[in-house]
A and B are shown apart, each in its own frame.
Chain A
Amino acid sequence: MPAIDIAMRRITGGLALLGAAGVILMLVHVTAYVVMRHFASAPIPATIEIVSYYYMIVIAFLPIAWAERRGDMITVDVFRHLMPQVVKRWVDILVALITCAAYVALTWTTWLVAMREFGARSFVISLNLALPIWPGYCALPAAFALAALVSLYRAANGALGREPLASRGGAAMGALE
């Protein structure tokens, strides 16, 4: 089991690092775009498209499994305090399974879209540049599949009475608001 634990942490963390790279690239790219436009009158071509179809996808979806593992997802916590310990454990398992089911559905449906876009090698035209956008679609099923695995693993851990991967409430400051 610990081996799975380590693998989960590495894979989710790796995807999150790609997401972090997306944040930094977006910052550098957009800043350069603004500076070039105002001072050199030569804006970087297709910036809006690259931000929307690449950076945003990478930032929003690749870290989902990582956020799920850390317990960063936003929930309504009021009634939890009212539940007895035993009930809490079963509710946690149920919630993990429901979450897993939703991610499986998302994986499947976004996979269908990704195959369609890949098949068509979809692209957008920005001025005289053809920018392929199908790779972005392929990121979604991969990210959701990993998130499904993380939730399934949490359910299994709960059922086996093991400590969950991440305790709830470990959310980062900004994730709360």
Chain B
Amino acid sequence: MNLAAGLVGLAVLLLLLALQVPVAIAMIIVAFGGVWIMFGLQPAIGVLANTPYDFVASWTLSAVPMFLLMGFVAYHAGLTAGLFDAAKLALRKVPGGLGIAAIFACSGFAAVCGSSLATAASMGRIAIPEMIKAGYRPSFATGALAAGGTIGALIPPSILMIIYGVFAETSVTQVFLGGISVGILTAISYTAVILIVAAFRKDIVPATPIGVENLNARSVVRAVWPVLVLIMLVFGGLFSGKFTATEAGAIGAAGAILISIVTGRMSWHVFGQSVLETLSTCASLFIIGVGAVMLTKFLGLSGVAGLIGGAVNDFELGYFELMLLIVVIYLILGMFMEPFGAMLVTLPVLLPVLHAQNIDLVWFGVFLVKLLEVGMITPPLGMNVFVIRNVAGQYASLTDIFRGVAIFIAADIVLIILLIAAPELSLFLPRLMQ
């Protein structure tokens, strides 16, 4: 009876999501209705009554607004504009240097911002026009930046990783450390793609060297160093254990505001916009977390969580089969859902399975974020591609950008296979720092 209620609950959840009921509301309704049917009204009230407060009143979760604020200030104040120039100077002699510089700049921006959309937008706006002027094929240039944006959520800070850490009850700092390796590996794989294309297809990536005549090394360094110091302060404090995640986020946000003021990039508009977007993101995000906790309780009580875990056992799914299944599920979900919804709807089902299979939750967090980020660039719903279309729509159509991003998705798939085959790739840093 309970099992049936659980399975019907999951079906109702999918129906509500398809009707475009907000993800949070759909989970709350299914959890409340499901527990009511199984155990009566009082337990259902119990599930609803305490969860919102208990989930949100959390010191770990308070890192989210602080890192969001840091990222939005960096984005709106254009703090990292100098990164692209610095990378261009360094890579001026490399074939495909301009494209690689854009990927490097994305990685640098990722270290102050936890969102892949903001990374794609801010670097796309700067890099795409220059790349196209230099003769890059527009679909390739826009695709590279849509993909480069995903590094934003991989290299810490990462909002996805904080929420994962809270939900999976694992150390956010450890997941962050894993994120550094996977973020860097992603940047390396995209760099390899650009180098290969530059070597074989001069019609897509031109061989002409980067024009850096108007760049002066000293002024570039002067523009970049405050941000680099801020990054080192935030991560040095976080990874040495001197700051908790929240403290690192607050120091980062305060530092970003200070640098913006000193460099004359701060205005009331920039500040207000950054605070309001932080608020809007928190309001829409935390309520999904609340819904996911309720759904977890419901699935646990109904026995569905156990059933799925048992099924994985009964079919004798090994590590590789299970991972293949998970990759396929998230690649499909990523086509239709934004990453927070996809992550929080699935974790209640998945976490018990992972526990049963003794899978390292730090590793899985990093791996999951990588999978979700691939979803940001796959059609039909590829948020990063939409953002690039917004900032560079005059150069390429949506179809062009999706076409250009395909080769980077191929690189992502290779990296995902590597991560499955050699988990040490992402666990190296977390283990080293333990």
Interface size on B, residues (CB 8 A): 72
Inter-subunit contact B376/A61 (CB<8 Å)? no
Closest partner residue, chain A, to B243 (CB atom) = A34
A136 to B54, CA, bound (A): 11
Q: Does the CB pair B21–A63 fall under 8 Å?
A: no
Interface residue SS majority, chain A = helix
Q: Given that A106-B28, A177-B376 are contacting pairs, would A74 and B23 also be in contact in the complex, using a CB cutoff of 8 Å?
A: yes
Q: Could you say which residues of chain B place their CB within 8 Å of the CB of A112?
A: 45, 49
Query: Are the C-beta atoms of B57 and A52 separated by less than 8 Å?
Result: yes
B residues within 8 A CB of A75?
17, 20-23
Partner of B59, one of A19, A52, A72, A172: A52
Tell me, yes or no, whether A121 is within 8 Å of chain B by CB.
no
Partner of B116 from A60, A101, A136, A177 at Cβ < 8 Å: A177
User: Is A140 a contact of B52 with CB atoms below 8 Å?
Assistant: yes
* A78 engages B275 (CB within 8 Å): no
Name the residue of chain B whose CB is nearest to the CB of A65.
Answer: B283
Interface string of B337-355 (1 = CB under 8 A from A): 1111100000000000000
Docked complex Cα distance between A113 and B232 (Å) = 44
B263 at the interface (CB under 8 A from A): no
Size of chain A's interface in residues, with CB distance under 8 A? 60
Interchain CA distance A137-B56 in the complex, whole Å: 11
Q: How far is A172 from B75 in the complex, measured between Cα atoms in Å? A: 13
Check if B277 sits within 8 Å of A177, measured CB to CB. no
Cβ of B336 under 8 Å from chain A: yes
* Cβ-based interface call for B286 (8 A): yes
Counting CB contacts under 8 A, is A153 at the interface?
A: no
Q: How far is the CB of A63 from chain B (nearest CB, A)?
A: 4
Tell whether, in the assembled complex, residue B287 and residue A64 are in contact, meaning their CB atoms are under 8 Å apart: yes
A24 within 8 A of partner (CB): yes
Segment of B86-94, B196-204, B246-254, B414-422 in the binding face: B246-254
Contacts of B53 in A (CB 8 A): 57, 110, 113, 136-137, 140
* B121 cross-chain contacts in A, Cβ below 8 A: 173
The closest CB in chain A to the CB of B291 belongs to A102
CB of A165 within 8 Å of the partner chain:
no
Among B57, B116, B288, the most chain A Cβ lie within 10 Å of the Cβ of B57
| B134 contacts A by Cβ under 8 Å | no
A66 to B280, CA, bound (A): 8
Q: Is the CB of B279 within 8 A of A19?
A: yes
Q: Could you tell me if B20 and A76 are in contact, using CB atoms closer than 8 angstroms?
A: yes
Assess whether B72 is interfacial by the CB under 8 Å rule.
yes
Which of the residues A67, A76, A98, A176 comes within 8 Å of B18, measured between beta carbons?
A: A76
Q: Which residues of A contact B (CB under 8 A)?
A: 16, 19-20, 23-24, 26-27, 30-31, 33-34, 38, 48, 51-53, 55-57, 59-61, 63-64, 66-67, 70, 72-80, 91, 94-95, 98-99, 101-103, 105-106, 109-110, 112-113, 136-137, 140, 171-177
Instruction: Provide 15 A-B residue pairs closer than 8 Å at the C-beta atoms, listed in order of the A residue.
Output: A23-B275, A27-B253, A51-B59, A51-B62, A52-B58, A52-B59, A56-B57, A59-B279, A73-B25, A74-B338, A78-B18, A99-B21, A109-B49, A175-B280, A175-B285
Other than the given A26-B65, A30-B62, A98-B19, 5 more pairs (CB < 8 A) read: A48-B59, A53-B57, A73-B284, A79-B19, A136-B53
